[in-house]
Amino acid sequence: MTKPDHQLPKTRSGEPRAFFGRRSGKKLHGGQQAVFDATLPDLEVRLTGTLDPRELFPDAGRIIVEIGYGGGEHLALEAGRHPHTGYIGCEVFTGGIGKMVQTIAAEGLTNIRLFTDDAFKLLVELPDASLDEVYLLYPDPWPKTRHHKRRFVSPTTLAELARVIRPGGVFHFATDIEDYANWTLAHIVRAPAFRFAPEKPGGWHEPYPGWQATRYEQKARREGRLVSFYFSFTRV
């Protein structure tokens, strides 16, 4: 049964849009829940209107958003490597949020904030050209044709990404699903705000510099999906 329009996330023009992820998740155990309850309030990004990420990270040289960080391996690694960059991680799974909160507390990371709702809601409240990079790593491929509307990459989201990423900034997209890779390229070639210019043919199969496989990538390898696509699209 379709939800009433007023219960669905909206585009900037106010039109209803299907949610781009799944909301369910495993319940946290006692220790995780305690850290979650004590730490998340200081890390959580709450929207009350337009959000300038520079207010979250006034001393940061760059601002990066990671959409659907999962267990947080990549987000934590990059935040530790680049302490002068501000990171906003978007995730709706309670388990993933719990792991990220634990890692932030254990490693003393001070340059990460967490958004715990649909990432599109965050994008529409960010100012123009306010981000340096956006990562979308191993998103849910929604393989059934009737669910393709739930894939994060769409004309709607690419328009918002083009608005919030500064000229010269980059949108990174990684997947092990060839159909989703082709889907993304097909949308990118119709998005004049982004340029795809790989250094060499097939170079998109090579991981990003300094890449450390996420648990989702490790799972893909165990299941026999041995090839991944690591795209980087430059905002022109």
Q: Which of 117, 128, 140, 179 is catalytic?
A: 140
Determine phi and psi for 163, rounding to 5 degrees.
-70, -40
What is the token pair recorded at 131? 């981000």
Q: 93 and 25 in contact (C-beta within 8 Å)? A: yes
**Within 10 A of 198 (CB to CB), how many other CB atoms are there?**
13
Residue 111 CA: distances (Å) to CA of 4, 86, 172: 38, 5, 20
Cα–Cα distance for residue pair 97/114, rounded to 1 Å: 8
Catalytic annotation on 42? no
CA atoms within 13 A on the CB side of 190: 12
Cα–Cα distance for residue pair 174/67, rounded to 1 Å: 11
Enumerate the active-site residues: 140
